[in-house]
Structure 1
Amino acid sequence: MKHHVQLSAYFLLFIFITASCKKDRKHEETADKTNFVSASVSASLSSTQIKGLASQAGYGTFSPYLNYDVDFYKVIYTTNYKESQIEVSGLLGIPKGTPSAPSMMSAQHGTMFLDVAAPSNFPAPQAFSGFELLASVGYITLIPDFIGYGISKDLPHPYYDMEYSGSVVADMIKAVKYYLDKEKIPLGNRLFLMGYSEGGYVSLAAEKKIEAEPVEGLSLTAVVAGAGGYDLNGMLSTIATVPTYSDPSFIAMILNGYNSTYGWKRTFSDFFKDPYAGKIPSLLDGSKDGNAINQELTDSPSELLNSNFYAALLNADAEKVLKQAINANSFPGWFPKTPTRLYHGTADLAVPYETSVSAYNKFTTLGAKNIELKPIQGGTHATSILPMMQDALVWLLAADK
């Protein structure tokens, strides 16, 4: 369900080739008290090049905000996974020539299936998410790959796991802050989070993590989350009651993610009917995008899912382990303290708009005072990221004064 944009292949290929020639500088630190591993230059783009990229990608309305040249780096750092420290990666964009020390923005990408789409592969064409533009706006911008992508692509992605989602973002923020301090690169004290689709969920998970464990020297100032599956139980219940669902790849991704992350060792035939059960391992091997996967599956949940499993989704006494995991990852007992906006397209069929309504109602009932629900009228999952970013950027810039 990643938002895909149509780019000029020639334009991005030019950037990719010219940027590849600059990957000869690498900074490494091995100090005992840091999770930072390395940072290597992946591209140095002028604001003119970035404006061209924005125009080609359909983000031309952002051009007035794209004022700074940017150095992009592939960052490697460590995070915890199943009681071990593993190396993960992400993209860092540092604007050049800002009039004052820039604030930090961590931007979280949407659901992805292709290995080559990992943000740290930028400026490879398929790795562009749109969030890279925030660096040219003037933010020191981080885009974590997440566990299961980039240099950790051989691990299963812990899709919609709240703890791993929050930690992989918080740990990149810590690693980058360490790197900036060591390189004497100015950094302001404000921290912002933004994400869409899975990235919307991950942004709230990171907000929860950072509110509980603040990053020294940074103040979490505002959070933007768009079209995330915050109410996973409600989302799966909806899928089980509709005749068609346009993104069956999501169902495969979340069941595979939970089965792998929690070590259930269940077979795909526990969840899916044949021939789909046999197809899914190769469909999720990182070589196909969401559209290609959807074409190999069926949009009928009753035809896709094992009949017993399908019935169990609506039976409160069945599939208790799965449902407990889903509830544990749906922000139980927590609400945002930081000013937060939830954006969602009202015509979103991939992640239903009601998911954000449910989350907003739960958060406000628990005591949230600084949260807004921002419907994008008529917006679908694919079309709502741009209006979200346009509206949110004005809000974030006002908060960054």
Structure 2
Amino acid sequence: MQAKKFLSLIYVPFLLLFSFGCSDENVAPQFENIVSYDLIGSISKEEVNERFCNNSLIKDFVNFEVEAYKITYMTPNFDGTMVEASGLVLIPQVQGSAKLTSFQHSTLAKSPDPAIDQEDRAPSYLSAENAEIYLSAVLYAANGYLISAPDYIGYGSTGDMFHPYEHAQTTATTSFDMLVATKELTEFLEVNLTDELYLLGYSQGGNSTMALHKYIEENHSSDFTITRSAMGAGAYHKTAVGDYIFNFEGDLGFPLYLYLWVMDTYDKVYLQRGLAYYLNAPYAQEVINGGYFAISNTSPQEVFTEEFIAEINDPESDFNVALADNDIYDWKANAPIKLYHSLEDNLVPYFNSKDAFDAMKARGSTEVLLETYTYNSSVEPDEIHGAGGTKFFSDVISKYFRFGI
């Protein structure tokens, strides 16, 4: 029950506005990036409004019918092997030009327990169970944003693979290659695009968006010019997060699932030690047998081995080097970025966005903004992370992407 309650904070509908709701495959010959594309449906303006119970606050954003495609494309995994990844493309049926937008989704659980596993909520399924995509992404598309939403490796066509959770390099290349494939599909379908590019994502999606923005500016600035990026509640400062979580004394107050997943990812990518190095008995076996969401203890000092905690406190240790390789908070951005974070968020601490804001400003980034949400006692502590997502998706479409504020 605890696992299900916690997971609801990750993927439950975020927006008050966005969160409630009353084909044959074509192999793509001669495409450079697309392996296949599949029209999976059309969504009328009436249907978009119906998904939001014809809420009057939504209607002004619903301007276009939307066509939904699943595409597959080639991209490198964390070990350098090429895999056939998948994602969702939402194309607004505009009369003029659409605005290309990369939409990075938040955490979807991978678990051997079918009651927890969320493979079927990856973007390319366009599942009604994933409100972030079924409602939020579709509404953005109906407002004129052409959505490129990668499933990430480990979901969709790569659902049988390990998901390298918040490994910055893999996240960035997977999202970038999806963006390239999306642009190729629009050219094939003769969809006109503006010269704009928008990026957005919340929680894991915020981390993914920061990684993608950094990757584009450092490696592909001649291919894409980013207009604006919106990032909500991402764990950008991994070394600080590691110190906060693994050195925490007492009951953390929320489950360790996601942090175990990040830890295991960095072990697989960099170190290959196995879970028994990091976790005391019986927790290592719990996770080996039942997955990350089977962990029964929320006290880091009881869960993690003394050897691992000692390593966390050595800045030169191998694991800290791995964490530092995934720090994406301290760099100079050329395109505007707006960070959003709830001050009282204990799942993804606020310092992630504050540290990024301070570091990027100090490096002379062209424009970095920080929106701080506060709730005090108006929202239960374990609901704050989700409440921040509610405000994030609303503020981005109604303010930041429209007016830059």
TM > 0.5 between the two? Answer: yes
Superposition TM-score, scaled by structure 2 size: 0.84
| 1:277 paired to 2:277 | no
- Could you tell me how far 1:275 is from its partner in structure 2? 2.0
Q: How does 1:101-116 map to 2 (within 5 A)?
A: 101-113=97-109, 114-116=118-120
Q: Which residue of 2 aligns with 1:66?
A: 62
- Could you tell me how far 1:60 is from its partner in structure 2? 7.9
CA contact (8 A) 1:159 1:254 kept: yes
Q: How does 1:174-323 map to 2 (within 5 A)?
A: 174-214=180-220, 218-239=224-245, 240-245=247-252, 246-262=254-270, 264-284=271-291, 293=293, 296-316=295-315, 320-323=317-320
Relative to structure 1, the CA distance from residue 215 to residue 66 in structure 2 (aligned partners, 3 Å threshold; closer, same or farther) is farther
Q: Which residue of 2 aligns with 1:288?
A: none
Distance in 2 (alpha carbons) for counterparts of 1:156 and 1:138: 34
- Could you tell me how far 1:128 is from its partner in structure 2? 4.7
Q: Secondary structure at the match of 1:212?
A: helix
Distance in 1 (alpha carbons) for counterparts of 2:64 and 2:291: 38
Distance in 2 (alpha carbons) for counterparts of 1:328 and 1:247: 25
- Could you tell me how far 1:175 is from its partner in structure 2? 0.6
| 1:155 paired to 2:146 | no
Unmatched runs of 5 consecutive residues or more in structure 2: 1-6, 110-117
AA at the equivalent of 1:325: A
Superposition TM-score, scaled by structure 1 size: 0.85
CA contact (8 A) 1:344 1:374 kept: yes
Distance in 2 (alpha carbons) for counterparts of 1:94 and 1:249: 35
AA at the equivalent of 1:45: I
Distance in 2 (alpha carbons) for counterparts of 1:371 and 1:38: 38
Distance in 2 (alpha carbons) for counterparts of 1:60 and 1:119: 27
CA contact (8 A) 1:54 1:60 kept: no
Q: Which residue of 1 aligns with 2:91?
A: 94
CA contact (8 A) 1:35 1:79 kept: no
- Could you tell me how far 1:238 is from its partner in structure 2? 1.2
Q: How does 1:161-172 map to 2 (within 5 A)?
A: 161-172=167-178
- Could you tell me how far 1:29 is from its partner in structure 2? 2.0
Q: How does 1:6-25 map to 2 (within 5 A)?
A: 24-25=23-24
| 1:48 paired to 2:46 | yes
Distance in 2 (alpha carbons) for counterparts of 1:373 and 1:309: 34
Q: Secondary structure at the match of 2:164?
A: coil
Q: Which residue of 2 aligns with 1:391?
A: 395
CA contact (8 A) 1:341 1:373 kept: yes
Number of residue pairs aligned between Structure 1 and Structure 2:
372
Q: Which residue of 2 aligns with 1:28?
A: 27
Distance in 2 (alpha carbons) for counterparts of 1:361 and 1:395: 20
Relative to structure 1, the CA distance from residue 242 to residue 225 in structure 2 (aligned partners, 3 Å threshold; closer, same or farther) is farther
Relative to structure 1, the CA distance from residue 336 to residue 54 in structure 2 (aligned partners, 3 Å threshold; closer, same or farther) is farther
Q: Secondary structure at the match of 1:350?
A: coil
CA contact (8 A) 2:315 2:321 kept: no
- Could you tell me how far 1:241 is from its partner in structure 2? 2.5
Q: Which residue of 2 aligns with 1:18?
A: none
| 1:140 paired to 2:146 | yes
Q: Which residue of 1 aligns with 2:125?
A: 121
Q: Which residue of 2 aligns with 1:348?
A: 345
Task: Calculate percent identity across the aligned residue pairs.
Answer: 24
Q: Secondary structure at the match of 2:153?
A: coil
**Runs of 4+ residues over 4 Å off in structure 1:** 215-218
Distance in 2 (alpha carbons) for counterparts of 1:249 and 1:306: 16
Distance in 2 (alpha carbons) for counterparts of 1:66 and 1:282: 46
CA contact (8 A) 2:106 2:201 kept: yes
- Could you tell me how far 1:214 is from its partner in structure 2? 3.2
